A and B are shown apart, each in its own frame.
Chain A
Amino acid sequence: MDPIRLRVKRQARPDAEPYWEEFKIPYRAGHNVHSLLMEVQLRPLRADGTRTSPVAWDANCLEEVCGSCTMFVNGQIRQACSALVDTLARPIVLEPMKKFPVVRDLAVDRSRMFESLKRVRAWVPIDGTYDLGPGPRMTEEVQQYAYALSRCMTCGCCLEACPQYNDHSAFIGPAAVGQAILKNLHPTGPLTKEERTAELMGIGGIVDCGNAQNCVVVCPKEVPLTRAIGDAGRETTKKFFRDIFRR
Chain B
Amino acid sequence: MAEQRHLVVGGGLAGLMTTIKICEGGAAVDLFSVVPVKRSHSVCAQGGINAAVNWKGEGDSPAVHFDDTIYGGDFLANQPPVKSMCDAGPAIIFLLDRMGVPFNRTPEGLLDFRRFGGTKHHRTAFAGATTGQQMLYALDEQVRRYEAQGLVRKFETCEFLGAIIDEGGVCRGLTALDLRSMKVEAFLGDTVALATGGPGIVFGRSTNSVVNTGTAASAVYQQGAYYGNGEFIQVHPTAIPGEDKLRLISESVRGEGGRMWTWRNGEKWYFLEEMYPAYGNLVPRDIASRAVFKVVFEMGLGVDGENAVYLDVTHKDPEELTRKLGGVLEIYEKFKGADPRVVPMKVFPAMHYSMGGLWVDYVQMTNVPGLFAVGEVDYQYHGANRLGANSLLSCLFGGMVCGPKMLAYAKGLTRAAADVGNGVVERERRRQEDVYDRIYRMDGAENAYALWRELGEWMTQHVTVERHNKNLKLTDDKIVELKDRCGRIGINDLGRWLNQEVSFVRQLWNMLELARVITRGALARDESRGAHYKPEFPERDDARFLKTTKARWTSDGPSLSYEDVDVSMIKPRPRHYDVEKRAG
Contact = CB atoms under 8 A, between A and B. Distances in A.
Note whether A and B form a binding pair.
yes
Contacts of B24: 128-129
A151 B327 contact: yes
Contact of A35 (B20, B97, B243): B243
Nearest to A85: B243
B43 A66 contact: yes
B98 interface: yes
B180 interface: yes
- Chain A: number of interface residues, binned into ranges: 35 or more
Given A129-B20, A131-B94, A154-B38, A13 B497 contact: yes
Which residue among A61, A110, A136 has the maximum number of chain B CB atoms within 10 Å of its CB? A61
Given A53-B501, A137-B108, A137-B110, A66 B335 contact: no
Interface string B325-342: 001000100110100000
A147 B127 contact: yes
B109 A137 contact: yes
Interface stretch (A138-146, A159-167, A210-218, A226-234): A138-146
A191 interface: no
Contacts of B147: 118
Given A35-B243, A151-B133, A104 B100 contact: no
Contact of A110 (B36, B138, B142, B492): B36
- Chain B: number of interface residues, binned into ranges: 35 or more
Contacts of A117: 141, 144
Contact of A32 (B145, B211, B244): B244
Contacts of B445: none
Contact of B210 (A59, A133, A146): A59
Nearest to B146: A123
Contacts of A137: 105, 108-110
Interface in B8-50: 17, 20-21, 24, 35-36, 38-41, 43-44
Which residue among A63, A132, A146, A183 has the maximum number of chain B CB atoms within 10 Å of its CB? A63
B102 interface: yes
B497 A12 contact: yes
B528 interface: no
Interface in B244-274: 244-245, 247-248
A236 interface: no
B242 A30 contact: yes
Interface string B130-173: 10011001100110110110000000100000000000000000
Nearest to A118: B148
Nearest to B108: A137
A104 B109 CA distance: 48
A65 B43 contact: yes
A62 B247 contact: yes
B98 A135 contact: yes
A223 interface: no
Contacts of B100: 123-124, 146, 182-183, 186, 188
B437 to A, nearest CB: 18
Interface of A: 12-13, 28, 30-32, 34-35, 38, 41-44, 51-54, 56, 58-68, 81-82, 84, 103-104, 107, 110-111, 114, 117-118, 121-126, 128-129, 131-140, 143-144, 146-147, 150-151, 153-154, 182-183, 186, 188
7 contacts: A32-B335, A42-B450, A53-B495, A62-B210, A126-B99, A143-B104, A154-B39
Given A63-B248, A118-B148, A140-B107, 8 more contacts: A54-B493, A65-B133, A66-B209, A121-B145, A123-B142, A137-B110, A144-B323, A151-B327
